[in-house]
Each structure stands twice: as C-alpha cells, then as structure tokens.
Structure 1
Amino acid sequence: MSSTTVLILSIIAAIIPTLLYILIIYWVDRYEKEPIWLLISAFLWGAIPSIAVAFVFNSVLSIPFYLLAGEGTGDALTASLIAPPVEESVKGIALLGILFFWRHEIDSILDGIIYGAMVGMGFAIVENVYYFVNVFNEGGVEAWSVNIFMRAVVFGLNHALFTSMTGLGIAIARMTKNQALKFIAPVGGWMAGVFLHFVHNASVSFGELLCIVALIFDWGGVLLIFGIMVWAVLQERNWIRVYLADEVAVGTLTAVQYEIACSGRKRVRYIWSQLSSGGFGEFRHATRFFHRCSELAYKKHHITLFHDDEKSVELAHELRGEITSLGENLA
C-alpha cells in the first residue's frame, strides 16, 4: 500500500470506533444533553493543543532517560513516568476551563465524566493515527492490523477513562459545599487518571505478560466509570421526579408532561412521535422542552445545596417561564 493509502485507512480505523464510543456516551446522557459546541471544543482540545503540547513536554523531559538508559529503556521509562502526568495535565486544562468559565454546564458528576471522556477521545484519535502509520512502516500489514485492533478496540477507551477521572473529580468539586473537597477531588481525580495511565503504559512497555495487568486495570476502570455513570443517570432521574413534582401544582407543567419528563424512555418515544407527525420543527420543540425541564430540576437541586446561589435562582425563574411557554405550544 502507498503511504497515502495507509494514512487514509489509519484515519478511518481511528475514527470509526471512536465515533461509536462517542455515540454511546452521548446516549447515556439522556436527560440533559451537554451543548454540542462545548463537547466538540473539548474533543478538539484533546485532538490538537493537547497532542502538540504533550509532544513537546514528553520530548524535552525524556532526554535524560535516553542519555542514561538508551533508546529502548528510554522509550519505556518515558511512556511510564513522563507521559502519564504530562498528558493528563494538558488534557485536564480543558476541564478546568469548563469549570471556571462554563461551570453552569456541570450539573452532575455525569457531566464531568462526559467532558473528560470527550477530551480523551480527541487525544486518542490523533495518537492512534500516529501509531498506526508508524507500526505499518516498521512491521507491515500484519503488525498494522494487530495494532489497530489493540489500540482502537481492546484499549480504545483508555484515554477517555484516564481523563474522565479528572472530569469526575472536577464535577465533584463543582457539586460539593465542602471547601477542602473542592481542592482534593480534582487533584484526586487527576492522580487516579495518572495512575491508571502509568499502569497501562508500564505494563505494555516492560513485557508481554504484563499486558494482562493492563487489561485488568483498564477494563476494571472502564466498568467502574460506567457504573458511576449509571448511578448518576438514576440520580438525575430522581432529581427530576422530586424537583419537578411541585411544578405541576403551580402550573409550570401538566401532569402528563411531568410523567413524560420523569421517564427517559417516554421522552424518547414522545419526541420521535413529534418528528413523524409534525416534522423536524416539532421534534426540536419537544427536545428543547424536555431539556429545559431537566435543567430546571438540576438548578433547583443546586439551589437546595447552595442556598445563596442567586444566579441559579434567577436561571430557575427564567426556565419556568420558558417551560410554560414551550409547554403551551407543545403538540
């Protein structure tokens, strides 16, 4: 194959599984989808600035290892000791940016995990293309095929896992009233991501048998994060049920609208029925209505936690007005 063909096929091999992972993560966030532009921004941060900055720091900081230990051991030491803290720090900058500038978009721990995963996916897709092409040039089609399977499938969620740990910590900091935890949680999440990254890189760098260790930690971490995501979705559903109940009494919602809002399955069924009966306009209208319902529930939960949060009180008032207006025009 020509170098151009290898590059194109490598890009496709990186994109297809990553797109599948993103769709699954987006589907899990069923009650209040994060803004598309912010998800794309997080992804692009991982794919462009993070890769570039990490490459520079990894290259500079690895020089002593290569001088003292040679190329082979230097590669392994760099991958194990330099890359994890450097890459998780650079990727984490995007999450800190979201916390400081768009903190109102972090309504639950699920949001932090999702933003972290998106940054990780962006980083992984570019890194995978780089390795796919290099492995083909060094080992041919067979080695290239194995590398694609291992990096994109077996370990395809790794960077999403590592950075979602930082995102989880940042979301906890956003949701807690404990001042010490506001500092400890992000640092702890970052350290967990660095540790998992270190275990993976060290395991695959220092021996084939140690790949079993990488599999255990990587997939154990993925299952842990997935379990937290499921728990967070159930928690969000409970918030909607609790905090929207009194909105029926004051006329913000009808009893039927409340019942649909409390069920992810009923929401999807209703929204798609609007698409088939009223077209894309009705579909968007219904989607916006239930999205605002979720936002109101989350804001009311936030007000319960932080009684002096005037911005959330103001947003809740605005959301009530918008929900009432949207509900009146709902087919």
Structure 2
Amino acid sequence: MSIAAGSRFLFDSPLSNPRVARLIAIVLAILAEASLIVLVKFQLMSLAPSSLGVFLRALLVSGLLSIIPFAALWFLDRRERESIWLYIVMFLWGTLIATGIASPIIGILFPKATHLAFLHSDILKQVTQNSGPTFAAMLLTPAIEEFVKGLGVFIVFLLLKSEFDGVRDGFIYGALIGIGYNLIDSSFYLAQAYAQTGVAPWWQYLVTHHSLMGFGGHALYTGLFGMGLGLARQTTIPWQRIAAPVAGWLTGLLAHITGSLMGLLTIFLAVSVVGKSLAAPFSPGSDLFSNPSFWALLLSGGYISFFWSFPFVALAGLMLWRSGEWERKVIRDELVDEVEPVITLQEYQAVLADRMLHTRRIQGISKALSASIVNAQNELAIRKWRLSHHGKDPAADPLVASWREEITRLRASTLEQAPES
C-alpha cells in the first residue's frame, strides 16, 4: 500500500482529519497573531530608539550563537531525521507563541521583578527591599515559562505520533523551543536592562543566556520535559507513561529555578568582588566576535553554568546516550529479517558496525540518496518495533509497507546514478 510522504508524516495523527487540522490551524493562527501583537505593540514599540538598537544587536548575536545548538541537534537527529518544517514550527513556537503568551503574564504578576536586572553595587539593598516580588518571580516565572514552552512539545507528542519516537526526539523538540524562546527573551532582557540603567549588561546576558554552547538555559529546561514525553512514548509500562512526563517537567522546572537562583548568586558574588556595575565589560560593535573579551565572558558563563547545572546536564547526557543505544538496538533487531531490496547484506553489516558518533553510509551512490535510504530503513525499523511492543502485527501495517515501498523506489533510482569517483 503506497502512502505519500505527507501522509506518512500525518499517519496515526488526528491532523489527518481535515476538520481537526483546520481547527488546530485556526487556533495556532490566533495564538500567533495575538503573540505577534504583544511582542511588537507592547514590547518592541515601547522601547526607546537607543534601547531598540541594543535589542537588535542582541538579536543578531543571539541568532548567530544559536547556530551552535542547532548544529548539535541536527547531529543528534542524524539516524532518523525529522521534517525540517517541524524544526521550523518548534523554533517559531518558542520565538513567537511562547514568548507572546508568557511575557504579558509575567509582566502583570511581577512588574517590578521581571528579569531581575540588579546591576549596581547596592544590589543587596535592592534585593532586600524587594525580596518578596523578587523571589516570588524566581519561583513562579520559571513555572509559567516552562508551561507555555512545554505546551508546544506536548502538542507534537499528541498530534504527530509518527514523528515523536522516543527520548532523543523529545529532547530535540524541547531544545528547539528553548532556543527560540531564548533568542527573543535574552534580547528583550538586554534591551530592558539598558532602558532601566543606561548600560547594557552584556556580561549577565552571556552568562545567563548563552552558556554551554546554548544548552545552559531554556534549551536544557524544556529539553528535559521533552525527554520525559519521549520516555513515555518508548516504554510499555503503564505507570511510566504517566510518571515520565510529570517527572520530566518537574525536573526541567527545578533546573530553571536553580539556574535563576545561581544566576543571581553569581551576580552577588561578582558585584561583591568588583564593587561596581558589571554592565559593560566590553563595548559590542562590528568586531564583536573578534573581541577576546566576548569569548572570555562566554567561556566564563560556561564554567558557571556547568557548575550549577551539572546534575541536570549529566542526566540529559545519560538519557541521550541511552537513547542512542536504544536506537541502534532497535535498528539492528528490526532490520535483521529484512531482505533485498529493503536492505542488502553489506548494508546490514554496516548497521552492526554503527557506533555512537558514527553515521553509516551506503557506498557508491550520492550522499543525499544514501541518507534518504538509510533514514527510510531506520524509520521502518522504529515503526516495526513500536507495533511489536504494542501487540500489533507489523506485516499488516500500511506504514510499514509504505516504508518498504519507499526504500524500493529509492533503490531503483540508484541505477540512474553513476558511482562516485
């Protein structure tokens, strides 16, 4: 049974029903439009021209620094590649919808404590005088942000089952939303701090928003929740399907709260040592990335973030390592009984030789075609595993048959290509 690529994307999804798809599209369009109005009318337009210039510079820096975590996620996703459109949607959920929903809620609840931009030597006095709203914001703001960011991951978990296979997929989706959220949030943070004090706190900006190659903040927090959802998708134990997402969200929330507390503590200590404002240790300009101070500050932020976030980073790293082991085992076990043209003996030997940081390739054909065949083989294996572990027969599944047909079609196209020199 042949299924088109778009239909494979929506297989087993409520979105395959046109009425449901239209309803979801309308809801998302309303959310996007409302969020855009909030961000543009109530935040961007409220900035003075000088603050707007700081925002745009910060946005450029954030965008360039975001390339690093994007590349890391792309590498993690190499065995069973998700749609590039899903990458874009997740990123836009973070940049547009999540920020547009969270910002006004936080602004209404904590108007005096938003962003905690205490920059001067009297920081202890300021915090003491505003300890109530300050620490309330540090506890409740993360909960609001993790709820709206996590909602995007949860929607994909519910609506696109064939695109949400396990722990690694969950981390990728959550991290993409976190990267998008950080892009806007960090830029507004810098601009608003500049508007309040007249100086741009680049030191805090780098330490609190762009450490650990972009995984020291929102990407890690929401990625942990995504991992919980991914574990729920992988497991066959009923209670774990409920407990894993709850534990993942709470772990991400704890990491966020810890990050806020440790970020403020870092500022306390630094101000105590320096005894003056930390707002502008260097002057950002066109030579920003060639400025040694920029990289020194970025590295210092990495050291600080790694110190406080080590338990959470270690947990994420362990789960990603285990997810890689799981992927390779599923691919080995489920492709062993497949025959040509789905997979050749030589290709299966490459499956057996696959390692953690290795990506197998079919020799003698173009890199792009090889990647397409390997991806289809891996999709087939994971689909067969899921059906088998839920008591269903892979032989009767239309999507399994469709992946086999897709591999056969791709295999036929290799005859049209001359071997690479």
Query: TM-score, with normalisation over the residues of structure 2?
Result: 0.67
1:81 shift after superposition: 1.5
Distance in 2 of aligned mates of 1:256 and 1:107? 27
Matched, 1:187 2:246: yes
Match of 2:268 in 1: 208
Long gaps (5+) in structure 1: 275-281
Query: Which residue of 2 is the match for residue 253 of structure 1?
Result: 343
- Please report how far the alpha carbon of residue 42 of structure 1 lies from its aligned counterpart in structure 2 after TM superposition: 1.0
Matched, 1:171 2:230: yes
- Residue number in structure 1 paired with 2:35: none
Asked whether the equivalents of residues 113 and 137 of structure 2 are also in contact (C-alpha less than 8 Å), the reply is: no
Cα gap change, 1:90 to 1:137, in 2 (>3 Å): same
Name the stretch that deviates more: 309-318 or 236-245. 309-318
Aligned-residue offset at 1:173: 1.6
1:103 aligns with 2:161: yes
Shift of 1:186: 1.0
What whole-Å deviation, never above 9, does each CA across 1:70-114 have from its counterpart, x for those lacking one? 973255224322111111111111111111110111112111111
Letter in 2 for 1:256: Q
How far off its partner does 1:267 sit? 4.8
Q: Is the 8 A contact 2:384 2:394 kept in 1?
A: no
Distance of 1:95 and 1:106 partners within structure 2 = 10
Q: Tell whether the 8 Å contact from 2:224 to 2:249 is kept in structure 1 after alignment.
A: yes
Alignment of 1:39-54 (within 5 A): 39-54=87-102
* 1:216-255 aligned within 5 A: 216-248=307-339, 251-255=341-345
Task: Note closer, same or farther for the CA distance 1:2–1:198 as it changes in structure 2 (3 Å cut).
Answer: closer
Name the counterpart of 2:371.
287
Counterpart amino acid of 2:221? Answer: F
Of 148, 151, 159 in structure 1, the residue corresponding to residue 205 of structure 2 is 148
- Relative to structure 2, which stretch is displaced further, 210-219 or 123-132? 210-219
Say what the alpha-carbon RMSD is for the aligned residues.
3.1
| Cα deviation, residue 283, structure 1 | 4.0
Which residue, out of 46, 53, 59, partners 1:11? 59
- Unmatched 5+ residue regions in structure 2? 1-48, 115-126, 271-300
Aligned to 1:313: 397
Q: Distance in 1 between matches of 2:314 and 2:58?
A: 28
**Residue 247 of structure 1: SS of its match in structure 2?**
coil
Q: Partner letter of residue 78 of structure 2?
A: R
Give 1 or 2: higher helix fraction: 1
Residues 207 and 305 in structure 2, CA contact (< 8 A), matched pair in contact too: no
Any idea what the Cα deviations from partners look like across 1:269-319, whole Å, max 9, x if unmatched? Answer: 558x74xxxxxxx44332221110110110111122111377993211211
- Whole-Å separation in 2 of the counterparts to 1:309 and 1:246: 15
Which one-letter code corresponds to 2:203 in the other structure?
A: V
Q: Residue in 1 aligned with 2:296? A: none
More deviation in 194-203 or 160-169? Answer: 194-203
Are the aligned partners of 2:164 and 2:170 in contact in 1 as well (CA < 8 Å)? yes
Which has the higher Rg, Structure 1 or Structure 2?
2
Report if the CA contact (8 A) 1:117-1:164 is conserved: yes
Q: Percent of counterpart pairs with the same letter?
A: 26
In the other structure, the counterpart of 1:36 is 84
Residues 166 and 190 in structure 1, CA contact (< 8 A), matched pair in contact too: yes
Deviations 1:43-91 (A, max 9, x none): 111111111111122233337999xx99732552243221111111111
TM-score (norm 1): 0.84
Give the aligned length: 319
Secondary structure of the corresponding residue to residue 338 of structure 2: helix
Code of the residue aligned with 2:404 in structure 1: it is R
Other structure's SS at 1:259 match: helix
Q: Is the 8 A contact 2:347 2:362 kept in 1?
A: no
Partner of 2:44: none
| 1:89 aligned onto 2:147 | yes
- Name the residue aligned to 1:279: none
CA gap 1:312/1:152 in 2 versus in 1, 3 angstroms: farther
* 2:221–2:255 CA contact under 8 A, matched in 1: yes
SS at match of 1:34: coil
Which segment is superposed worse, 237-246 or 45-54?
237-246
Is the alpha carbon distance of 1:45 and 1:110 closer, same or farther for their aligned partners in structure 2, counting shifts above 3 Å? same
User: Does structure 1 residue 329 correspond to structure 2 residue 329?
Assistant: no
